[in-house]
Structure 1
Amino acid sequence: MKRFFSLFVALLCCLTLSATAETQAPETPEAQTARAVVEAVAAEDYDAAVELFSAELAATLSAQALQEAYEPLLAVIGTYQGIHSITQYSADGAEIVMVQCAYEKSGLMFTVTFTSGSVAGLFMQLVAIPEIDGLEAPIDSTTREEVALRPGAEDETIATLLIPDGEGPFPAVVMLAGSGPQDKDETSAVNAANRPFYDIAEELARQGVASIRYDKYTYAHAANMTEDEIALLTIQEEYINDAVAAVAALRADARIGDIYLLGHSQGAMLVPRIMQAIEAQEGLGEIAGGVMLSGSPKPLWQISMAQNVALLGDEQMESYEAILSEQIQLANSLDTMTEEELITKTVFGVSAYYQKDETSVDAAQAALKNGRRLFIAQGDADWQVTTADGIEAWKAALEGAQFPVEYHLYENLNHLLMTQEGSVTRTLMDYALPGHVSQQVIEDIAAFILAGE
């Protein structure tokens, strides 16, 4: 049980939040009980927490198992500071209460599931707390500007534009972050010093490549999203609208030349689809190419399933085979679900409505149709997207492509394209130490882009 519980600590943080942006919830009975559970865990009174569980959950998640799952996290996130927010929503006949807590170095989201009024599930996931995010940019000759996406609109988003020193026009990248609510730097929830997009943007500017990046919609506007907007969230709202606005802003800037899309993780998986959506807009022109980092051509739910299966031992597989089979069956029936079923059911922790939309465009087929040059890369220490599901799957899916595709596999780099320190643990602890995106990776990206000029 401990291993499976830790699995959800490690993985659901990058999936669940993408479909469940925060809304303010009243202190319902479920919210009050969830608060009591969280406060007991934070006080390290595990027996008190388990007393609030249903009999079924208490039989599988003991006080000792809860302690063994929680205490290792404290070495990474530091001391408990308090509850940051409590949100609640309904799904699949259950009540879900999400309690976001602030810790000394990061945040921790407790997801408490209720069935028939009883605590039937408890998951912990590392998240970022806005107050601790961000560091000052270094002072150099790079021009940094704020650009408004959808200026004047209720959902206006402020983007950061970096322009290299010298005379343009410069090629530019629109940066597409990974799954879940992400700030413009892709600040790590485990260690706020790890900011992949910050590293990439700063170094690309030094190499002569401009960039525009922004907080994802589900991060920047989560507090203002209605329940209906959350329930009906798709790739259009989460990614495409912002990307279209970013390209429009770049097209209006005389300092910018060719435009590329640069995606990481789920952002990389969506580069071909987003490229099509942008080029369908009148006046935005063609996208010159794509940079796809730590991504996969496979549907998001298949990557989630692979992560879960990889972390389950034989004994755990026997216990949870029925759960996995049920989730796979749901995933395979997305096309036949009613709209009500899509809205109320979840598949591998994500709204079925969202999953159906995400699977509606085949990434590799879209890339082949686009015909734009591509740079595809990942690290060989990446366990969130294995090389089999990542770079090797891309090679197979794009075989025979009639356009240039560069493949780069980097030794001992993790999912963040940072050096993997020590043995791979297959948990978010692999990202606990501060690091930077590999200089070689960024230089290779810059060389790919500049070669197209």
Structure 2
Amino acid sequence: MGVGIMKKLLLFIFVALFGRISFAQSIIGDWYGIINSENSSIPLIFHFSQKNNIYSATLDSPLQQSLGIDVTTIDYNAGKLHLVVARHDLQYKAVWSGGKLVGNLTQMNTDYFLVLTKESKQLQEPKSTFPYLTEEVRFQNSQAEVNLAGLLSLPEGSGPFPAVLLLGGSGPTDRDNTINSNHKMFLVLADYLTRKGIAVLRYDKRGVGASTGDFNVAGLQNFASDAKAALHYLQTLQEINTNQIGLIGHSEGGLLAAMLAASSKEIDFIIALAAPGIDGDTNFILQRKLISKSKGISEKEWLAKLDFLEQVVGEVKSAERPKELERSLKEIVVSYLERTKREIPYGMSTEDYTAMLVDRYTHPYVQDLIKIVPRQSFRQVTCPVLALNGSNDLQVSAAQNLPAIEAALKSGGNTQVSIKEFDGLNHLFQESATGAPSEYGEIEQTMAPIVLETITDWILKQTEE
């Protein structure tokens, strides 16, 4: 081989390898990581893009409901990254290592080890071409002048099909019931059901995604009204068997399903996934006890927190005017945080955390969840009910809530009740070690297959001709 040819060949190999290395080290796209601090685990998502050789990025902190935070400066060169988010006094320095970005995130003079990867752990989500029809849809809640947007999934064939309406959990959830860990629970569930011949409608809550309206001023009755509008829309579709329409609700959504079924005979069955059955104030405190204990909180710290939570519940249930509630809650929160500094999450000032807690507890739907008495709705439900939960659920404890749901249903004379507790599953119905919310994002599974099978088999049994 001649020297000239050899030089060209070596140059070609170098260019090819360099090109592949450059491509492999591109930061363009979505990067996922979790910050672990003393008392919390915070999932973070960076979205990098590039235009005219200039990088830009935004940061999402789903757990704190902070999305689209602008990254102020980005310096990325030779596998080394340095970025700054000035608004939150945050910087991240990392190096490329084996397809990951490995480094330290610094905020308010505190360092946190952070590894970012380009793959989220939601490997269960369907990514291939779907063997069924999906259609973006819009429908109106005329009572509230709210336009809701969602996705309709129709099985192969001519129909009409049995159908379910999916109702998401608490918070500003989208049509996929995207949880803080970025798991798309309803995407996985809808895909599974539609492949089995069941049509599915899921939608963005008001004020979320493509839906209009204001989430921040809405309560449970508003969300129930939206769900009723979604049900009526589903009933207008010629592809749907209107005698075989059910509701599947997760957490708060399970309560909404009971509220709708209690007031309407148009619903043929409901499935309550990790739904509350005990009184709202009791569940509110129990949830926080179980989660706090999972973080290793001492008995002394828990008793201080319990006193705080009982004061919050008392004010929410007794306050007659919003301004009065806001003022009293702020006093309670400030007093508590003065005694319990370690309660404040990483990177947040006392003032910001105080404001966040006051906003949370004065939100209409949070107040509704504290005041709600689920048995009042469940005991009026006469259609078939499937209630599921996991033994590791720390947010809606199966041990307390499943028996309460069963008792309420049977007290109303409903004999078509199926109750099942899955061993080792958490609030999202993932196979889990402890059930702590901090695990959600670390688990690759979105929903345990046994749960998907149980739901589907039960629906098909209810809709047998």
TM-score by length of 2: 0.64
After TM superposition, give the deviation of residue 333 of structure 1 in Å.
4.0
Work out the CA distance in 2 between the residues paired with 1:198 and 1:235. 23
1:253 corresponds in structure 2 to 237
Aligned residues of 1:181 and 1:219 also touching (Cα < 8 A): yes
1:293 to 252, 266, 273: 273
After TM superposition, give the deviation of residue 386 of structure 1 in Å.
2.3
Work out the CA distance in 1 between the residues paired with 2:283 and 2:41. 14
Q: Which residues in structure 2 correspond to 1:107-118 (within 5 Å)?
A: none
Distance 1:148 1:365, change over 3 A: same
1:370 corresponds in structure 2 to 381
After TM superposition, give the deviation of residue 408 of structure 1 in Å.
1.6
CA deviation digits over 1:132-151, x for unaligned, max 9?
Answer: 9x977543442222221229
1:411 corresponds in structure 2 to 423
Q: Identity rate of aligned residues, in percent? A: 23
1:306 corresponds in structure 2 to 286
2:306 corresponds in structure 1 to 324
The amino acid that maps onto 1:356 is: Q
Work out the CA distance in 2 between the residues paired with 1:304 and 1:105. 34
CA deviation digits over 1:143-191, x for unaligned, max 9?
Answer: 222221229998533211112223432221110111112221223442x
After TM superposition, give the deviation of residue 376 of structure 1 in Å.
0.4
Gaps of 5+ in 2: 1-34, 44-60, 70-84, 94-103, 330-356
1:144 corresponds in structure 2 to 134
1:351 to 362, 368, 391: 362
Residue 49 (str. 1) matches residue 29 (str. 2): no
After TM superposition, give the deviation of residue 359 of structure 1 in Å.
4.6
1:234 corresponds in structure 2 to 219
After TM superposition, give the deviation of residue 211 of structure 1 in Å.
0.9
Distance 1:347 1:450, change over 3 A: farther
Distance 1:8 1:15, change over 3 A: same
Work out the CA distance in 2 between the residues paired with 1:411 and 1:425. 11
After TM superposition, give the deviation of residue 435 of structure 1 in Å.
1.7
Work out the CA distance in 1 between the residues paired with 2:39 and 2:391. 23
Indicate the structure whose relative CO is greater, using CA pairs within 8 Å and at least 6 residues apart. Answer: 1
1:27 corresponds in structure 2 to none
CA deviation digits over 1:53-90, x for unaligned, max 9?
Answer: xxxxxxxxxx4xxx4xx43xx34xx27xxxxxxxxxxx
The amino acid that maps onto 1:169 is: P
CA deviation digits over 1:393-431, x for unaligned, max 9?
Answer: 3234444452211012223322222322xx326242343
Distance 1:327 1:4, change over 3 A: farther
Q: Which residues in structure 2 correspond to 1:183-202 (within 5 Å)?
A: 183-190=174-181, 192=182, 194-202=183-191
The amino acid that maps onto 1:309 is: K
Distance 1:203 1:137, change over 3 A: same
After TM superposition, give the deviation of residue 367 of structure 1 in Å.
1.6
Work out the CA distance in 2 between the residues paired with 1:230 and 1:247. 20
Aligned residues of 1:142 and 1:163 also touching (Cα < 8 A): yes
Aligned residues of 1:176 and 1:261 also touching (Cα < 8 A): yes
Residue 391 (str. 1) matches residue 397 (str. 2): no
Distance 1:263 1:150, change over 3 A: same
Distance 1:447 1:342, change over 3 A: farther
Gaps of 5+ in 1: 25-34, 51-62, 80-103, 107-131, 280-284
The amino acid that maps onto 1:204 is: L
Work out the CA distance in 2 between the residues paired with 1:327 and 1:170. 47
After TM superposition, give the deviation of residue 337 of structure 1 in Å.
0.6
1:121 corresponds in structure 2 to none
CA deviation digits over 1:320-368, x for unaligned, max 9?
Answer: 5334313213313434212224762467943264333335542222121
Residue 272 (str. 1) matches residue 284 (str. 2): no
> 330-339 or 255-264, which moves further after superposition?
330-339
* 3-state SS of paired residue (1:450): helix
1:339 to 321, 340, 347: 321
Aligned residues of 1:41 and 1:49 also touching (Cα < 8 A): no
Work out the CA distance in 1 between the residues paired with 2:380 and 2:160. 28
1:443 corresponds in structure 2 to 453
* 3-state SS of paired residue (2:399): coil
Aligned residues of 1:261 and 1:289 also touching (Cα < 8 A): yes
TM-score by length of 1: 0.66
2:201 corresponds in structure 1 to 212
Aligned residues of 2:390 and 2:427 also touching (Cα < 8 A): yes
Aligned residues of 1:290 and 1:373 also touching (Cα < 8 A): yes
2:155 corresponds in structure 1 to 164
1:262 to 248, 261, 266: 248
Work out the CA distance in 1 between the residues paired with 2:198 and 2:105. 52
2:82 corresponds in structure 1 to none
Please state which structure has a larger fraction of its residues in strand: 2
* 3-state SS of paired residue (1:393): helix
Work out the CA distance in 1 between the residues paired with 2:260 and 2:68. 27
Aligned residues of 2:141 and 2:225 also touching (Cα < 8 A): no
The amino acid that maps onto 2:306 is: L
Work out the CA distance in 1 between the residues paired with 2:148 and 2:209. 7
Work out the CA distance in 2 between the residues paired with 1:291 and 1:164. 20
Work out the CA distance in 1 between the residues paired with 2:372 and 2:260. 10
Residue 380 (str. 1) matches residue 391 (str. 2): yes
Work out the CA distance in 2 between the residues paired with 1:142 and 1:352. 39
The amino acid that maps onto 2:303 is: E
Work out the CA distance in 2 between the residues paired with 1:302 and 1:330. 12
CA RMSD of aligned residues (A): 4.1
Distance 1:154 1:408, change over 3 A: same
After TM superposition, give the deviation of residue 4 of structure 1 in Å.
9.7
* 3-state SS of paired residue (2:225): helix
Work out the CA distance in 2 between the residues paired with 1:352 and 1:369. 27
**Is the radius of gyration larger for structure 1 or structure 2?**
2
